[in-house]
Amino acid sequence: MFSLIGRTKSLATTLATIARLVHSREFAHIISLNTENFVIQIEHKEFHSAFVRAEVVIADGVGIRFAAKVLGIPMGDRITGVDLMRELVMHYKDKKILFLGGAFGSAERTMNHFKKIFRLSNPEWMALSQVDKNDQELIHEVLKFAPHICFVAFGSPAQELWIEKYRRRLSGVLCMGVGQGMDVYGGVVKRAPLFMRRYGLEWLYRLMRQPWRLKRQTRLIKFLYYVLRARLFGAHSLHHQSAI
């Protein structure tokens, strides 16, 4: 399970891999590895399969760096999904980009935000909400637009499972689950101050502003348990299991 950490790369290598995938029009799934997702993929076989099959894995979270250090696993740069999303829009603003999901209206606001900061008047972009659409209607609209890049914000693990479900039909599309990133750029959620981001404390900032997230922080305790268990008994001691 912790071998996923070893698949993360430096920012430069990650961007080079993405560039190759975009220009060759290969399907690719960029997936974020953080403490919460790590725990979910241990308890959810389909989610684990999404990580195994993903073409690009990024280390998004200070907890992953902690685990890498404790277990002696080589790790790439810490790359947040929010930052990588902006990086990709900047690099591929001339491509067809689809902003999919997020809170009501945030996909369109995110699209307009990037249009403004990159001073673009009429790029080949589209914003699409999943509200009032069933799954078949949604994938039909996505395929009709035929994007080069698709940012999906359904929340995790729903967004990653959706991408994997339509992996074959999304041939030629670079897909990335961005979760709350869409709401950040859409102005729905305020991002943590820079000093908190530098120290990997975004989770604490979100918890302070959204106390309802406290229940989800139980996964942090599970994560620490899994790290300690792997340190004492080896990574092979972990296996898929129901919630503990």
Is 242 part of any domain?
no
The strand pairing partners of 29, in sequence order, are: 175
In this prediction, residue 210 carries a pLDDT of 67
Closest-CA residue to 28 (of 133, 132, 151): 151
Is 19 part of any domain?
yes
Our count of domains for the chain comes to 1
Domain containing residue 161: 2-237
Is 227 part of any domain?
yes
For residue range 128-141, list pLDDT tens digits in order: 987 667 889 999 99
Question: Is 28 within 8 Å of 21 (Cβ atoms)?
Answer: yes
Q: What is the pTM of this model?
A: 0.89
Peptide bond into 211 cis (omega under 30): no
Is 34 part of any domain?
yes
Is 93 part of any domain?
yes
In this prediction, residue 93 carries a pLDDT of 97
Is 244 part of any domain?
no
Closest-CA residue to 62 (of 237, 219, 205, 198): 198
Question: Read out DSSP for the chain?
Answer: -GGGGGG---HHHHHHHHHHHHHTT--EEEEEE-HHHHHHHHH-HHHHHHHHH-SEEEE-SHHHHHHHHHHT-----B--HHHHHHHHHHHTTTS-EEEEESSTTHHHHHHHHHHHHTT-SS-SEEEE--TT--HHHHHHHHHHH--SEEEEES-TTHHHHHHHHTTTTTTT-EEEE-TTHHHHHTTSSPPPPHHHHHTT-HHHHHHHH-GGGGGGGHHHHHHHHHHHHHHHH-GGG----S--
Closest-CA residue to 35 (of 243, 242, 191, 203): 203
Is 12 part of any domain?
yes
Count CB-CB contacts under 10 A for residue 183: 21
**Residues with pLDDT less than 70, the chain:** 131-132, 199, 203, 205-207, 209-217, 235-244
Pairing of β 174-177 and β 149-153? parallel
In this prediction, residue 101 carries a pLDDT of 92
For residue range 219-243, list pLDDT tens digits in order: 888 999 999 999 988 766 666 554 4
Is 243 part of any domain?
no
